[in-house]
Each structure stands twice: as C-alpha cells, then as structure tokens.
Amino acid sequence: MNIETSDEFQVRVARHAALADPARLRIVDLLTLGDFSPTELQVELGMPSNLLSHHLRVLEGAGLATRHRSEADRRRSYIRLAAGALEGLVPGAEHGARRVLFVCTRNSARSQLAAALWQQVSEIPSTSAGTHPAERIARGAIDVARRHGMELGDLPPRRLEQVAGEGDFVVTVCDNAHEELAGLGGVHWSVPDPLRQGTEEAFENAFRDIATRINDLAPRVLAA
C-alpha cells in the first residue's frame, strides 16, 4: 500500500482550500483555457486589483498558478496554470468551434507547430496565421516536428486577415500577437519564442509546452 506523506497531504489540503473560494475557482477555470495578465483577469472578474492580488497570491502559494514576464511588454506579467495543478480535478466548461486558429507574430514556428499538433488529437480542423508573417517556416520548427514524427504543411506563413473566419476559436501562442490583438477574444498561451535562442532545446521546450496545452484543451472543444 502506498501511504501519502505528510507533505503531499498538506499540498492537497492547500489546493482544496484555495479552490474553495468562488473567485479563485473562477480564476482557475479561466487558466485552464490559457494565460491571463492580472489586468485581463480584473476585466473578466470585475474585481478590484488589491483583491485580485490576494487571490493570486493564494493560488501561487498553493501551487496552482505561476507567473512570468511578457516577452513583449516587460512591465506586464502573465498568470498560467501550474503543471499538474488539476490532477484529479475536472476543468471548466466546454467550448464550441468550427475551426481552431492558432496565431503568433511570424507564423513561422509556434502557431505552425500548434496547428499540426492539434490535427493529431482532434477532428475539428485547425490552421495558423501571423500578425506579421515571415517569408518561410523556421528551420527549427521543421526539425523539431520531424523529430516527433510530424511534417509541417507546405503552406508558407500567412497573414491573419487572410485566414480568419467566422466561428474560429482563436488561440494566440505569442505575447506580441496577443497584446497586439487585444479584444479579439479566444484564449492566450504565453509560449516563449524559441527563435530568440534558436537552439534545439528551445524548440523542444516550445513543442512540449504546446503539446501539453493542446492535450488539455482538445477534449473541451466541440464541433460547432
């Protein structure tokens, strides 16, 4: 018989206590979809900043949420669900979509990988686009996809306006694109740009981050 240690038990107690508050449960529901800045959470919840700060401190202290600085505006931070935070818990509501549209700035790495990964786990169509498309898909993205048994499509990077359509469920995977498209709707994943470092490790980290998020989101998106 496996006996849970006292420390493990206290972690569970802290997480259940944190989620017992309606506002914190709502915050975690939102974080199961994507990353939010504190300002965006304020708008979603209609909550004063000092009260939101208190709830975020409780969630971070319980190991349910983490935060990091935006790569675009260093004054901004994003809150995300901590890895393994909801093991054994059921996330929030399902969402309907005609198609899932992944967006980043250059449409050369993160959004291309996300669209390809989505196609492996869902029958709902997916595509990708950029706010300022590059000329070609990044070599590192092509290579990491092949290391994981995938081939990226032949389509070159495309501009968002050429691709977006009615009924799309939009997922931004780039802080710059998310902040540029404020008010577009959808969800945001604050995935670090692998092109900043350009290393194999950076592309592997981005790939794993996106794959984990897609596996979490796919069961909750239904065909509209």
Tokens of 146: 């092949």
The pTM for the full model equals 0.78
Strand pairing report for 65-69 and 168-172: unpaired
Give exposure, 183-210, as e/b (b: 16+ Cβ within 10 Å). Answer: eeebbbbbbbbbbeeeeeebbbbbbebb
Q: How confident is the model at residue 3 (pLDDT cuts 50, 70, 90)?
A: very low
pLDDT single digits (tens) 49-65: 999 999 999 999 999 99
Q: How confident is the model at residue 2 (pLDDT cuts 50, 70, 90)?
A: very low
Residue 67's CB is within 10 A of a number of other CB atoms, namely 16
Task: Report the range of poorest mean pLDDT among 36-45, 81-90, 161-170.
Answer: 81-90
- Distance from C-alpha of 35 to C-alpha of 174, rounded to nearest angstrom: 11
- Distance from C-alpha of 143 to C-alpha of 149, rounded to nearest angstrom: 10
Assign domain 95-223 to its CATH superfamily: Response regulator (3.40.50.2300)
pLDDT single digits (tens) 19-51: 999 999 999 999 989 999 999 999 999 999 999
Which backbone phi and psi does 173 adopt, to 5 degrees? -115, 25
- Distance from C-alpha of 63 to C-alpha of 123, rounded to nearest angstrom: 33
Residues with Cβ within 8 Å of 121's Cβ and at least 6 positions away in sequence, in order, are 214, 215, 218
As annotated, the residues of the chain forming the CATH 1.10.10.10 domain(s) are 6-81
Fold of 6-81: Arc Repressor Mutant, subunit A (1.10.10)
